[in-house]
Structure 1
Amino acid sequence: MISLKWIVCLFLVFAAFLTGLTLNLYILIINFMDWKKGNRLQTCDQIHIIMALVNIILQCAVTIQGTMFILCEYIMYIKEVAICFYFVVPLLISFSLWLNACLCIFYVTKFANLSHPYFVWFKYNISTILPKIMLVSAVGTVALCVPSIWNIHLESQQVTTGNVTVTDKKMVISVWYTLMVAFLGCFLPLLISSLCLGHTLTTILRHVWRVNRKDSGFSRQNIQANIKAARTMILLLITCLTFYLTQVFDFAPNYDDKDTFISMGRKVLICRHFLCFYVLCIVIAMYRFYLFSINTSLHFTQWFPTCCFQFEK
C-alpha cells in the first residue's frame, strides 16, 4: 500500500509533467505554424524548438524514472536499468542547460552594447556561430555521459536489525566522475546563463531608469514592456541559481542518517531533484510562452546606445 506522502509526490510529478508538456508543445506548434506560413526560422526560434524537444523527452524520462522509484523501486536497482537512466537523464539535463546557456548568449548579444572588437564580430556572426556551439555542446554532453556506463556499480550490504537480516542495495558512482559531470554539465552552463542573464537584466533595468527620467521618448506602454521583460529575466535567473545551489548542497555529507527527514530515504532526494528539473524546464517553457503570446506586438529590437523591448507602431 502506497502511503499518502508518495501519492502526493506522484501527483506532483504528473502535474508538473502535464504542465511542462503542454507549454513545450505550444512552443512547437507556434513555431510549426510560423514555418508553414513561409517565415524563416531565426536562430532564436531554432533554439526554442530544440529546447522544447529536449525538455519533452527529459520530462518523459524523469516521469518514468520517478514513477518506477515510487511504485517498484527494486527495478531501479537492476544494473542495466540503472545505467540506462543514469545515462539518459543526466545527458538530457546537461544538454538542456547548455541550450539554455546558448539562448542566454543569444539574448545578451542582442541587448548588450559592448564595443570590444571580438564582441562586435561575435554579434554579427551569431547566426552561424551559435548552431556550431549547440552541436559542440550536444557532442560534448554525450562524450561526458558515456563513461557513466563504467562508473556505476551496484553494491549489496547485509543489514541486521535484531533477528532480521535485510540485504540493502545501492548504486555507487565514482565521486570524481560525479564532480566532473556536475561541473561541466551543470555548474558551467548555469554560470554562463547567470552571467548573461545578469548582464541582460542590468541593461533592461538601466533602460527603464533612463525612460523614467524622461531621457527617452518612449511611452508608458514601452516602460511596462521593459518591466515585464525584467521580471521574466529575474524569475529565470533565480531559478537557475536555485538549481545551482541545490546541486551544491547535495554534495554536503549527511552526518546523521537517523534523522527523521533523512530517514525518508533516497526517494525524497530524487523526487526533489525531479521537481527541481521540472521547475527549470517549466519556467523556461513559460518564458517562451510569454514571448510567443506577445509576439504580435512586442519584439526584441536593438536600440542604440541601449537595447530595449519596443512596441510596434
Structure 2
Amino acid sequence: MTSSSVATMTSFALLCLSIAIIECMAGILGNGIILAASSLSCIGSKTWPPYDMIVISLSSSRFILQSWVTLDFLMNIFYEPFFYTENLLTATKIMFTFLNYSSLWFGAWLSVFYCIKVASFTQSFFIWLKLRIARLVPWMLLTSWLCSFTTAIPFAWDVYSVHKNITAPSSMTNSSAWTTTRNDRLTLLIYLWNASTALPLTLSVVSSVLLIRSLWIHTRRMQNNTSGFRDPSLEAHMKAIKSVCSFLFLYVIYFISVLIIVFNVFSPLSNGDSVCVVLMAACPTAHTLVLIWSNPKFQELPARIWHHTNCHVRTASM
C-alpha cells in the first residue's frame, strides 16, 4: 500500500486513516476475545471441536493481520521514509498477502462449516461431509495455510522487483523492453491472484445459497405441520443464515476494496483510495462483531472480565 507523508496528506485522507486505525484496533480487541474464549474451551481436551479450530485460525490470522495493518497505517502517517526501504516493503507485502489470503480462506471454511452442520440435505455426498467434517477440518486449514503461502511469495516478489526497478535509473534504450516484460509478468500474477482469491469467495457464495435453500425447504415443511415455528432447528437456521449472509456481504465489500488498493485503481491517498482503506479495515471488524453476537460463549468472556474488574475496584475502594 502506498501513501504520502503527513505534510502532503489531505485532511480527508488523514481522517480516513485515523478511522481505519480505530477500526483495526476494535477488530484486534474483538478477535482477541474470540481467540481467548475459544482457546480456553479447548484447553485440557485431547481433541478440539472443528468449529473452535476454524474460529481460532480465523481470529488469530485476523488478529495478526489487523495488528500489521495498524502498524502499516502508523508508519505511513509518521515515518514514511523508513517504511519504503526495500526489505521492509518486501516483508510488508508478503505478510499482508499471506495473512489476508489466510483470513479469506478461514472465513470461507466457517461458512462451509455452518452449511454442513445446519443444512438438512439428504444427498449422499452431503451426508458423507456431515459425518466426516470433524476429520476434514484440520486438512482444510492446513491446505489453506499452504495455498496462502504459495500465493504470497510470487506476488510479493513481483511487487518488490517492480518497486526496485522503478526507483533504479534505467537507460532509454532498454526501458521499452523492460516495461513490456514487467507488465506481462505483473499481468499474469494479477490474473493468478484474482483467480485464487475467487475460490474462497465462491465457497462462501455456494454455502450461503445452499443454507438459504435448506432454510426455505425446512420452513415449508414446518408450515405443513402443526408443530408451529418454535422449532430449534429453525432458530439454528436463522442464526446461521444471518451470520453467513452478513459475512458474505462483508466479504464481497472487503474483496473489492483489497483489489482496488493492491492494484492501485485510485491514486495513493485520493478520496477513492481512502474510502477503500476504511472499508477494508471495517469489514473484518464487523464480521468479528457478528461472530461475538452469534455465539454466547464469546459474550461470556467480556462479561466475566467486566465482573471481575468491578469486584476488584469495589474491594480496593472499601
- Superposition map of 1:1-313 within 5 A: 1=7, 3-36=10-43, 41-152=48-159, 153-154=162-163, 155-156=166-167, 174-184=186-196, 186-208=197-219, 210-211=221-222, 213=223, 215=225, 217-218=227-228, 220=230, 226-246=237-257, 265-268=267-270, 271-293=274-296
Aligned-partner Cα distance in 1 for 2:140–2:286: 23
Contact 2:116 2:130 in 1 (8 A): yes
The answer (yes or no) to whether the contact 1:24–1:55 under 8 Å persists in 2 is: yes
CA-CA distance at 1:24 after TM superposition:
0.8
Distance in 1 of aligned mates of 2:276 and 2:33:
25
C-alpha separation in 2, matches of 1:253 and 1:15: 23
Distance in 2 of aligned mates of 1:51 and 1:253: 27
Instruction: Give the whole-Å Cα distance in 2 for the aligned partners of 1:251 and 1:89.
Output: 10
Q: Is contact 2:246–2:287 with CA below 8 Å preserved after alignment?
A: no
> Root-mean-square deviation (CA), in Å?
3.3
Structure 1 stretch 60-69 or stretch 224-233: which is displaced more? 224-233
Identity rate of aligned residues, in percent?
A: 18
Given the superposition, is the C-alpha separation of residues 289 and 61 from structure 1 closer, same or farther in structure 2, using an over 3 Å criterion?
same
Check 1:64–1:216 CA distance in 2 against 1; reply closer, same or farther (3 A cut).
farther
1:21-63 deviation per Cα after TM superposition (whole angstroms, max 9, x unaligned): 1211111222233235869631001111111110010001111
Deviation at 1:209, TM superposition (A): 5.1
Inter-partner Cα distance in structure 2 for 1:276 and 1:205: 32
- 2:140 corresponds to which letter in structure 1? I
Is the alpha carbon distance of 1:209 and 1:15 closer, same or farther for their aligned partners in structure 2, counting shifts above 3 Å?
farther
**8 Å contact kept, 2:65–2:99:** yes
Given residue 92 of structure 2, which amino acid in structure 1 is its aligned partner? Answer: F
Aligned 8 A contact 2:21 2:70 in 1 = yes
If each structure's strand is expressed as a fraction of its own residues, which one has the higher value?
1
Report the CA distance between 1:216 and its aligned residue: 5.3
C-alpha distance in 2 between matches for 1:177 and 1:84: 18
Distance across 2 between alignment mates of 1:201 and 1:209: 12
Q: Mind listing any 5+ residue stretches in structure 1 that lack a counterpart?
A: 159-170, 255-261, 297-313
Distance 1:251 1:288, change over 3 A: closer
Deviation string 1:195-223 (CA, Å, 9 cap, x unpaired) is 11221133234434554x36352555856
Give 1 or 2: higher helix fraction. 2
| TM-score normalised by length of structure 1 | 0.74
SS of match in other structure, 2:144: helix
Higher relative contact order (CA 8 A, sep 6+): 2
CA distance in 2, matches of 1:87, 1:244: 18
State the AA in 2 paired with 1:234: C
Partner of 1:299: none
Please tell me whether the aligned partners of residues 87 and 145 of structure 1 are also in contact (alpha carbons under 8 angstroms). yes
Letter of the aligned partner of 1:177 in structure 2?
Answer: L
Kept after mapping to 1: 8 A contact 2:21/2:73: no
Unaligned runs of 5+ in 2: 1-6, 170-181, 300-318
The alpha carbon displacement at 1:146 in A equals 1.4
